[in-house]
Amino acid sequence: MADAKVIPFGEEPRSKRRAKRTGPARTTRAKAPLAPVPAQREEEPQTAAAAAGQAERAAATGDGAGQGGGWERKVAHGLNFLRRRITGDYEVDDFGYDQELTDQVMMSLLRPFKEKYFRVEVKGIENIPEKGAALIVANHSGTLPVDGLMLQAAVHDHHPAGRNVRMLAADLVFMLPVVNELSRKLGHTLACAEDAQRLLERGEVVGVMPEGFKGIGKPFSERYKLQRFGRGGFVQTALSAGAPIVPCSIVGAEEIYPMLGNSRTMARLLGIPYFPLTPAFPWLGPLGLVPLPTKWTIQFGEPIPTDGYPPEAADDPMLMFNLTDQVRETIQHTLYKLLVQRRSVFF
């Protein structure tokens, strides 16, 4: 909105001002200043609202750090956040999801990896509905489940409605002391039909990676080759809730930890599905856990509607098989297209 302009009026000689003290001249002087007043009063609330919105965005993104009061607002916001955390003045849902902690802290920690380290390019974000339930089905890879975190951060930052993906995770995630708490705070829950059904019925966006450990722990020689999608349980859940299925293809995660081998002996001793052997791990110790800075692309395909099927369709094994195969083939073909389009692994 353009700033209001004040039009100065020039000074007149005293003789002319004395001559204008008659009735008609006084009426003219009374009307002249009143003309711009209504427009001025109408614009003031809009200008104030726009300034408030701009200040709020600047404080959130750090753009106002160079302006007066920018750091003060950020410090005040941080202190207010700490006060609420200390006093317990915050909410979590029955799954343990802490929206405030996720928005203010967890996403701030994941964002540099998404934007600077992996330089994630997001495509087709408009295929995720702005409201209501949806089930995102993605490929799984990378030795460690970094792709699930980047998927969640991508939807959170790029979706117009800022939706949060409630990822379904394996039971091993919730057996680890620190990882368990962080996953719950991020909104993750156990990969079971009951939890997924409850979330979809509440209108949440749920993310699932049906390949599970078969996908994330496959050798580097089988990169970008999808493994089995289980028995189609995610399709049954989507059909029961009438939620659309959004296929998602992730390119770049396969190369962050090139898994050249698997020590089954160490895996049995530690009680984990696999023990990866990469060019850096375990030979370099903790340094071997640093992922390679590959270039990522996350593409969301067109949603597959499920609300047009009758209620008994969720119990039709042939329908579940066909929809599972359709989703899997869509993700696989999209992976091939993205691989052809990318210039290199790191650029």
Instruction: Report yes or no on 41 lying in a domain.
Output: no
Instruction: Retrieve residue 331's tokens.
Output: 């993700």
Pairing type for strands 121-123 and 297-300 reads parallel
Is 1 inside any structural domain?
no
Instruction: Determine, yes or no, domain membership for 304.
Output: yes
Give burial (CB, 10 Å; 0-12/13-18/19+) of 274: buried
Q: Looking at the domain assignment, is residue 204 inside a domain? A: yes
Per-residue pLDDT of the chain (347 residues; tens, 9 = 90+): 444 443 343 444 444 444 444 444 443 344 444 444 444 333 333 333 334 334 443 444 444 444 446 788 888 888 888 888 888 888 999 999 999 999 999 999 999 999 999 999 999 999 999 999 999 999 999 999 999 999 999 999 999 999 999 999 999 999 999 999 999 999 999 999 999 999 999 999 999 999 999 999 999 999 999 999 988 899 999 999 999 999 999 999 999 999 999 999 999 999 999 999 999 999 999 999 999 999 999 999 999 999 999 989 999 999 999 999 999 999 999 999 999 999 999 98
pTM strictly above 0.85:
no
Q: What is the CA radius of gyration of the chain?
A: 29
Q: How many domains does the chain have?
A: 1
Which residues span the domain enclosing 206? 110-256+291-341
Burial 112-147 (b: 16+ CB within 10 A, else e): ebbeeebbbbbbbbebbbeeebbbbbbbbbbbebbb
In a domain, 30, yes or no: no
272 within 8 A of 305, measured Cβ to Cβ: no
Q: Is position 53 within any domain?
A: no
Q: What is the pLDDT of residue 69?
A: 61
Assigned domain for 166 exists = yes
Q: Determine, yes or no, domain membership for 62.
A: no
